[in-house]
Every structure is written in C-alpha cells, then in structure tokens.
Amino acid sequence: MRISVVPVPRVLAGGDAGTGVIVVDVFRASTTIAAALAGGARFVLPVADVEQAMRLAEPYAANEILLGGERDCQRIDGFHLGNSPREYAHEVVAGKVVILTTTNGTQALAAAEDSGTVFAGCFVNFSAVADAVAGFDAVTILCAGNNGRLSLEDFACAGGLVGRLAKRTSRLDDAAMAARAAYKSLKENLTRSLVSTEHARRLAGLGFRADLEFSLKVDSIPVVPRQSDSRMVLLSA
C-alpha cells in the first residue's frame, strides 16, 4: 500500500476508485458528519459557502432539511445548527437531509472530490475508517487544517491512521512518515496536547470545550461516511 498524507489542504489530482482518500477534520466537520450519519440523517451535503447552502435547501420541505455549519467557529445566522457534533443527535437529525458548510472541513471534502473513494475520518471513527481503506492499493489522508495552515489534531490523527495502516511493505511519503512520528510522540498525552493548540483554546473560549472532548473519544462513533455524488452517506457494512 502507498500511503500519503497531505498536511495542508490542496486539490488532489484525479485518482481512481482504487485510491482511498480520508478527509480528516477532527475539530469538527469530520466528527460532525459521523455524528449526523450515526444519528440517522439521510445524508450530509457539504458545501463551500452559505449562499450555496441556502440555494440547495430550497427544493426541500422545511421538515426535511437542516442547515448546519459555522463561520469563525460560530453558528451561521438563519441556520438550524452550528458545527458542534453534539447538536447532531438522533432526535434532531433522524430522517433529515443535512446541508453543512464550514471553514475548513467542507472545503477539504470539495478538494478531495473525484480523487478516489473519499471518506470522512477522525478520532471518533478511527478504527472504522482505517478498516474501510485497508484493502486499497493507495491511501491519501487529506488534513483539513485551519485556514490553510497545518492543524495539530488533524496531522496527529493522520499519523495515527498511518501507524495503523502501514505494513512492512508499505511505501510512505515524507508527510506520512512525519505524521506517524509526530503521533508516536504525542499519543501518550494526546488529549492534553490537542486541547492546547490555538484553535482548540479558541473553541473552548467560545463555549465548545465539550466538543473537544467529544471529538477526541477514539472509536466512539464507529461509522464510515463516504462521499457519493458530493453527498456524504453511510458506507453500508
């Protein structure tokens, strides 16, 4: 298996279905998408901007649709939900279509489109998403980052996935080696390290401290969101 990590978002070259692509946005889009699908949402449609979200919601009846997302970490005016995964509980999302727009994660999903078989991965579905790509010839892990910069939590999660996927015969690119090495150092105090970053402290300051804990619970939501015609749907077992 060839394993690559993209530490800072960029549009990926066109791949084939034999390439597994994991888009990692720990705080919070990947976690929120996993939570929404586990909660019974029909699908999550990640979109780049607010206007597009509004427009794509129009065809749906009011009781069919939820608009979710954030700008500058906060819920968008007129939207039903923010980007807190804890808001996407079964009683809220079951049977609903969720249209989601966030600063980093939904942009990264757009950048990954058509680059292979695309999944959303993070700590809450760590083992499930690793198992989902285990049979692929090539795996690319695209970190959503934070406004075009490397995010420690996404890079560390990518490194954990590399460590889990790599076998003696695997070929790792430099970023995959770097991420795996970083994860190895960080894993013993993972939560403490990942809540100490500027982004995490900002989320905590805005009242989202519980989101950080929620997002760092490994394997707590063992579902695999897969991109299909721009929608994120549950990978059927």
**What are the φ/ψ torsions at residue 121 (nearest 5 degrees)?**
-130, 155
Q: How far apart are CA 125 and CA 157, in angstroms?
A: 11
What is the β-pairing status of strands 225-228 and 138-143?
unpaired
Q: How far is the CB of 149 from its own copies (least distance, A)?
A: 7
Q: Which is nearer to its own copies, 168 or 237 (CB)?
A: 168
- Residues 112-151: x/- map of binding to its own copies (CB under 8 A)? ----------------------------------x--xxx
Q: Which is nearer to its own copies, 16 or 198 (CB)?
A: 198
216 binds its own copies (CB under 8 A): no
Q: Which stretch binds its own copies (CB under 8 A): 33-41, 50-58, 90-98, 177-185?
A: 177-185
Token pair in block for residue 21: 């692509």
Q: Which stretch binds its own copies (CB under 8 A): 33-41, 56-64, 89-97, 182-190?
A: 182-190
199 binds its own copies (CB under 8 A): yes
DSSP 8-state assignment for residue 148: T
Select the residue interacting with its own copies from 193, 204, 220, 235 (CB under 8 A). 193
Q: How far apart are CA 139 and CA 214, in angstroms?
A: 26
Q: How far apart are CA 19 and CA 4, in angstroms?
A: 11
235 binds its own copies (CB under 8 A): no
Evaluate the omega torsion of the peptide bond into residue 28 and state whether it is cis, within 30 degrees of 0: yes
Half-sphere exposure of 159 (CA within 13 A, CB side): 22
191 binds its own copies (CB under 8 A): no
Number of shown-chain residues binding its own copies (CB under 8 A): 25
Q: Could you identify the residue written with the tokens 């190895």?
A: 184
Q: Which stretch binds its own copies (CB under 8 A): 45-53, 108-116, 194-202, 207-215?
A: 194-202
Find out whether 46 and 144 touch, Cβ atoms under 8 Å. Answer: no
Amino acid symbol at 214: F
Select the residue interacting with its own copies from 185, 210, 219, 228 (CB under 8 A). 185
- SS3 of residue 146 by DSSP: strand
Residues within the interface to its own copies (CB under 8 A):
7-8, 146, 149-152, 155-156, 173-175, 177-179, 181-186, 193, 197-199
